[in-house]
Every structure is written in C-alpha cells, then in structure tokens.
Amino acid sequence: MKGMHIDQIFYGLIEQRGPAKQLADLDKICFESDAMSFEEWLKVSNTFPIIVYAWQDDDKANPRGIAVVRYAAGISYLYSVAVIPEARRLGLGQRMLQKSLEIAKEKGCLEMQAHTRTENEASQKLLAKNGFKVIQYVPDFYDDCEDGILWSKLL
Ligand SMILES: CC(C)(COP(=O)(O)OP(=O)(O)OC[C@H]1O[C@@H](n2cnc3c(N)ncnc32)[C@H](O)[C@@H]1OP(=O)(O)O)[C@@H](O)C(=O)NCCC(=O)NCCS
C-alpha cells in the first residue's frame, strides 16, 4: 500500500451482530497460518464484542486492521488484533489497542486479558508496550500445539 500515511487512517467502533464474513476475510489476510473460519467468527460476532476497525480515507468497506474484544463480568479479552501486512508498523495496532482499552474501561471492565503465541514477537511487544504483564505460560494452548502466553492489564 504505497504512500499510506497514518493521518489517512480513521478508527471506528462497530457494535453489531453479523460482520463475521468481513472479520473472517480480514483474518485470512492478516494471519499466515491460524486464521479463524467464518463459523468461528460468527460465534464471536454473535456475542456482541467490541470491534474497532481501522480504515483508510473513506474506504470503510476494506478495513486495514481490526481489534476484537469480548467482555463479561468485568473482564475483557482481546480476541484479536490484526493489521494487513502492507499497513504494519505505522501505529495502527497501537491505536486500535488503545481504543479497545478505553472502550473496555468505559464498559466497566477492570481488566483486559489476551493470549499470544510464544513465537509472535510483534504481538508480545505490542502488549508489553501497552502495560500488559505476563501472568501464565500455557502449554499447547493453540490448535497446532504451540504454547501460549496469557497476558493481563488492569484497567
Ligand atoms: C501484531 C500487529 C497487530 C501489530 O500491528 P502494527 O500496526 O504493525 O503495530 P504498531 O505499528 O502499532 O506497533 C506498536 C508496537 O508493537 C510492537 N511491534 C509491532 N510490530 C512489531 C514487529 N514486527 N516486531 C517487533 N515489535 C513490533 C512494537 O513495540 C511497536 O512499538 P514501536 O513502534 O514503538 O516499536 C501486527 O503485526 C499483525 O497484524 N500481526 C499479525 C496478526 C497477529 O499476530 N496478531 C496478534 C494476535 S494476538
């Protein structure tokens, strides 16, 4: 995405059922191996998650990044934060995470949790930079048996 600049990126909150197709399509672009299926996203989108989109100019139909947070009983869980490869390292992940944290707090959540793959340096650094702390190593957490790391941030 040549010439993309952070000032051309806008952020919005979507709180509605049913953007599962868009979530699944974006996931396929963002994740090399473990993209979630449409059916899995359908389950998630039916639980009224907080969904923060990032788009360029007025092209809302083609999100450049997305953060999805589920919340219940005072705890929020960062289900996914993902940016299309061409738009990485511009600050989108950072801004979407900050917005998700703000909204979770507004909704009364006291904590946000997230899992990362042990090999995913970018996501670990993103969480650490935003004040998340490691609370547990979880062997075989992912379907392909990669270990996971559970992170938490008090809001
Ligand atoms: C993780 C991800 C969302 C980061 O998004 P991004 O928009 O590129 O990140 P930002 O530009 O906002 O960077 C914010 C911070 O994240 C960290 N970071 C981001 N990409 C990184 C990389 N490739 N290597 C190391 N640290 C990285 C840095 O701490 C960075 O802060 P800095 O710029 O001051 O060093 C993006 O790499 C991605 O979509 N990866 C694939 C999907 C994924 O693995 N999601 C996480 C699942 S939990």
Confidence band, pLDDT 50/70/90 cuts, at residue 100:
very high
Domains, the chain, in order of start with CATH, read 6-154 (3.40.630.30)
Nearest Cα neighbor of 104 from 79, 124, 84 is: 79
Q: What is the mean pLDDT of residues 11-33?
A: 75
Ligand 1: residue whose CA is nearest its atom 1: 123
Q: Is the CB of 94 under 6 A from ligand 1?
A: yes
Q: What is the pLDDT of residues 62-98, one digit of tens each?
A: 788 888 898 889 999 999 899 999 989 989 899 999 9
Specify whether the CB–CB gap between 55 and 95 falls below 8 A: no
Q: What is the pLDDT of residues 42-69, one digit of tens each?
A: 888 777 778 887 877 777 777 888 888 9
Q: What is the pLDDT of residues 141-154, one digit of tens each?
A: 998 899 999 999 99
Pairing of strands 65-72, 50-56: antiparallel
Helix (H, G, I), strand (E, B) or coil at 52: strand
> What is the per-residue pLDDT for 81?
93
What CA–CA distance (Å, rounded) separates 115 from 139?
12
Specify whether the CB–CB gap between 91 and 7 falls below 8 A: no
Tell me which of 26, 30, 89 to substitute to probe ligand 1's pocket, judged by most ligand atoms within 8 Å of the beta carbon: 89
Q: Is the CB of 149 under 6 A from ligand 1?
A: no
What CA–CA distance (Å, rounded) separates 42 from 35?
13
Q: Is the CB of 36 under 6 A from ligand 1?
A: no
